[in-house]
Structure 1
Amino acid sequence: MPLAVTSVTGPVDVDKLGAILTHEHLHMQFDCALQMPPKDLKYPNEPKETFALHNLGIVRQYPYSSKYNTKLDDVDTRAIILDEILRYKAAGGGTIVENTVEGIGKNLSLLKQLGLESGVTIVAGTGFYIACAQSHSVLCYSVETMHDIMLKELVEGNQDGIKCGIVGEIGSSWPIEDFEKRAIQATAYIQQETKKPVTFHPGRNSEAPFEIMRIFTEAGGDPKDVVMSHLDRTFYDEDQLLEFAKLKTFTQYDLFGTETSHYQLQESIDFLSDAQRIYKLKLLKDNGHLDQITVSHDIHTKHRLANFGGHGFAHFLQNVVPKMKVRGFTEEEINAITSENPKRWLSQGAEKI
């Protein structure tokens, strides 16, 4: 019998998922990342000015200094988000895994509407983002409370019966805070019960992915069901990346399309270009880890959407895949990265239909 993943519109045969983006946001707010721009920089203040051509370069350099830019839950975003998804579909995309969880504005009803209108499979995540994004009451949740909330969203769904299909992105800072440790432990217990796929957001330190996996596995979690996100801005030492890959998690490069070397959220980091990201994929492939690679864009601000002057959800399929072919990736290897690997990940805990 075929297996089906849980999408926001119901069960979907895993063999009909097509190309899969494993880490995106279609509706969220990211106020927790807001930062002041440099004092000597004339930064746009008014929403209508934020994406004018004369200052779009400034927004791209300092994206987290614009409150307007960090909102994907406003009227302007809702007016264009369906078009953004359809652009991805036209480029050959089949599935989007939506990683918005508690603390950054999850909206399952909107995701279902977008899935129905676009025909693209949307798989939603359950869980909790980093501690600084949470209310005081949520920060007091016990492991058991978090476990019960996530289990309900996976098994029963929300008030309208819309179910989540993965656990995550489960967020943590560096050092990992107590609330975040409890969320990781609760995730491990959920994974043992349901076998559902898991995705983690690590803090911006190369030790963070290792520490997350230590907490997760000590609580009984299975590394093979895990995607470790944002390795683009977490591992810069190649030996460390390959050492982490030995844990058998999925190693995810999910910031494709971000081409500025300046990383506002941690200025000590020299951000990778897409060409450098392709090199990292090749490094993993050449060292026997092809079957662990997943990719995405992690679009979470307006300026990265096509309608606001960005690359959009179609970017990887339209622009990165041709470059990968130039760098020696075969069609079979590209298909493994864009389809087969994420399909195998999503198949964890899938139901028979």
Structure 2
Amino acid sequence: MDTIRKGKVQTVCGSVEPDSMGTTLTHEHLLIDCGVLYVPATSKTGPPIHDYSDAPFDLRHVGWIQRYPYSHKGNLHLTEFDVCVEELEYFKSAGGSTIVDNTTHGLGRDVERLQQLSTQTGVNIVAGAGFYVGPSHPLDMSTRTEEQLIDTIIHEVVDGCDGTKVKCGLIGEIGCSWPLTGNEKKVLRAAAQAQERLGCAVNIHPGRDEKAPAEIVRILQEAGCDISKTTMSHLDRTLMDFETCLEFAALGSYCEWDLFGVETSYYQQDKQKDMPSDAVRMRFLERMIAEGYEDRLLISHDIHTKYRLMKYGGHGYSHILVDIVPRMLLRGVTQATIDKILVDNPRRWLTFIR
């Protein structure tokens, strides 16, 4: 297999030296259609008084959208190129250099526009190969073989994806439900075997159960995946107990807290859980650092809905750099450790080893 990628990071504009990556957000979505995540609006006690699912996205409805983000149809589409340019320029002015866009099949991936964004703003963008959760899979997924899926993933990294010459630089986010469907297990095994051949990074979207991350690691390992090159996303909505986090971290993957900026405790996708605040996320990170895991930590925002953009009253892609890093420093986390989490760890994870 062509090894031109070995020792490099592959962006949508081509391979670059890892040392040029700078400050990196490892889990974002710049252009995405996540309509597959739509759910009818309900409150903790029943249907809300008002249903604004089809209402215009304006100031009158922002509070409702913040409470029911997956029930406002317009909120689930990030497609405005000029808005994204403004967001990336602010991210860059705050010291950001690289964004990993984990938008895979089923989420409206558009690698040519990602390439245009990178060229226009100067921000490195790394695109993801593979497939999201079962409901977003192609209609013929059940008839596709593992080998066909492996070939698809490798083609997206080696040759280009979606009929273009723009190449992906990692596998993922690979979407998993709970319990895992048969097709999702098949995709996981294919991703593992493609990763073994490519030597690239993998990002996993686990199901919303504390048993899901470890189960996924087991499947990946059995299929040949290098877990040291794998990131488990969304731990801040999956592993709510610190001891469970420690048990999972011992399995060897990168551990990603990637919902920074979400400060609404009501979690629409899993009403039995309370979404943690940024303060709680920082406490988890501090405890993980104290336990010796600073080399395996990643952080991001996972922006995939419109209300989280600055244009629409949200925090934007610069939130971690502008708001969280200063708070972490005040709390006693050293600049060297922050650099590990935002620079060194992403660079090591994204660098091809074959």
TM-score, shorter chain, exceeding 0.5: yes
Q: How does 1:175-324 map to 2 (within 5 A)?
A: 175-324=179-328
Q: 8 Å contact 2:53–2:71 — kept in the other structure? A: no
* 1:136 aligned counterpart, secondary structure: coil
Does the alignment pair 1:132 with 2:138? Answer: no
Look up the equivalent residue of 2:83 and give its one-letter code. Answer: I
- CA offset at residue 45 of structure 1? 4.4
* 2:61 aligned counterpart, secondary structure: helix
Per-residue displacement from partner, 1:123-148 (whole Å, max 9, x unpaired)? Answer: 00000000011232134322111100
Look up the equivalent residue of 2:344 and give its one-letter code. Answer: E
Does the alignment pair 1:152 with 2:155? Answer: yes
Does the alignment pair 1:88 with 2:101? Answer: no
Cα distance in 2 for partners of 1:278, 1:217 equals: 30
Q: 8 Å contact 1:28–1:105 — kept in the other structure? A: yes
Cα distance in 2 for partners of 1:340, 1:187 equals: 24
* CA separation of 1:225 and 1:40: change in aligned 2, threshold 3 A: closer
Per-residue displacement from partner, 1:130-187 (whole Å, max 9, x unpaired)? Answer: 0011232134322111100010111111343111000000000000011110111011
Does the alignment pair 1:339 with 2:350? Answer: no
Q: Which runs of 5+ in 1 are unaligned?
A: none
Q: Which runs of 5+ in 2 are unaligned?
A: none
Q: 8 Å contact 1:235–1:241 — kept in the other structure? A: yes
Q: 8 Å contact 1:197–1:349 — kept in the other structure? A: no
* CA separation of 1:220 and 1:118: change in aligned 2, threshold 3 A: same
Q: 8 Å contact 1:131–1:139 — kept in the other structure? A: no
Cα distance in 2 for partners of 1:40, 1:88 equals: 35
* 1:65 aligned counterpart, secondary structure: coil
Q: 8 Å contact 2:8–2:352 — kept in the other structure? A: no
Q: How does 1:49-64 map to 2 (within 5 A)?
A: 50=57, 52-64=58-70
Look up the equivalent residue of 2:60 and give its one-letter code. Answer: H
Look up the equivalent residue of 2:20 and give its one-letter code. Answer: K
Cα distance in 2 for partners of 1:132, 1:81 equals: 27
Cα distance in 2 for partners of 1:69, 1:217 equals: 37
Indicate which of 58, 70, 73 corresponds to 1:67.
73
Does the alignment pair 1:10 with 2:14? Answer: yes
Per-residue displacement from partner, 1:235-281 (whole Å, max 9, x unpaired)? Answer: 01111100000011000000000000000011111101001000010
Cα distance in 2 for partners of 1:346, 1:40 equals: 43
- CA offset at residue 33 of structure 1? 1.2
Cα distance in 1 for partners of 2:310, 2:237 equals: 23
Look up the equivalent residue of 2:349 and give its one-letter code. Answer: W
TM-score for the superposition, normalised by structure 2: 0.95
* 1:69 aligned counterpart, secondary structure: helix
Alignment root-mean-square deviation, CA: 1.4
* 1:163 aligned counterpart, secondary structure: coil
Look up the equivalent residue of 2:196 and give its one-letter code. Answer: Q
- CA offset at residue 209 of structure 1? 0.3
Q: 8 Å contact 1:45–1:66 — kept in the other structure? A: yes
- CA offset at residue 348 of structure 1? 3.3
Look up the equivalent residue of 2:152 and give its one-letter code. Answer: I
Q: How many residues align?
A: 345
TM-score for the superposition, normalised by structure 1: 0.95
Identity of aligned pairs, percent?
A: 40
- CA offset at residue 57 of structure 1? 1.0
Moved more, 25-34 or 173-182: 25-34
* 1:63 aligned counterpart, secondary structure: coil
Cα distance in 1 for partners of 2:210, 2:74 equals: 31
For 2:52, the equivalent position in structure 1 comes to 44
